[in-house]
Amino acid sequence: MNPFILLMIAIVSEVFGSTMLKVSHGFKRLFPSLGVVLGMGMAFYLLSITLTKIPLSTAYAIWSGVGTALTAVVGMVLFKERAHIQKIIGLILIISGVVALRISNGT
């Protein structure tokens, strides 16, 4: 499988785990707490596989950038967090950086 697809699945798993972390209310709710463990476990497992094919600097930059952007979007959509102009500009810059990294990796 394409390592960038695996990386995207890992990122979505991490965002899911982070979202469940908020919903678990400090691990006080069982099913969201299980979602944290499942999401984060799958995320790091898939990231470890990805790192056998993609350089660490590229993979981790994409992981953190896309993960941060998606988590911010989830926060705005699901938890009604404020979407002010600075946040929107920051997300655009993150996505631009990820595109530049992807292009520089030659794939």
Mean pLDDT of 62-80: 93
Give the predicted TM-score (pTM) of the model. 0.87
Mean pLDDT of 30-37: 98
CB 54 within 8 A of CB 101: no
Specify the number of domains making up the chain: 1
Report the pLDDT value the prediction gives residue 54, as an integer from 0 to 100. 93
User: If you average pLDDT over every residue of the chain, what do you get?
Assistant: 93
CB 105 within 8 A of CB 59: no
Residue 51 has pLDDT above 70, yes or no: yes
Domain span at 69: 3-104
Looking at residue 26, the DSSP 8-state letter turns out to be: T
Report the pLDDT value the prediction gives residue 46, as an integer from 0 to 100. 98
Report the pLDDT value the prediction gives residue 104, as an integer from 0 to 100. 80
Percent of the chain whose predicted confidence (pLDDT) is above 70: 97
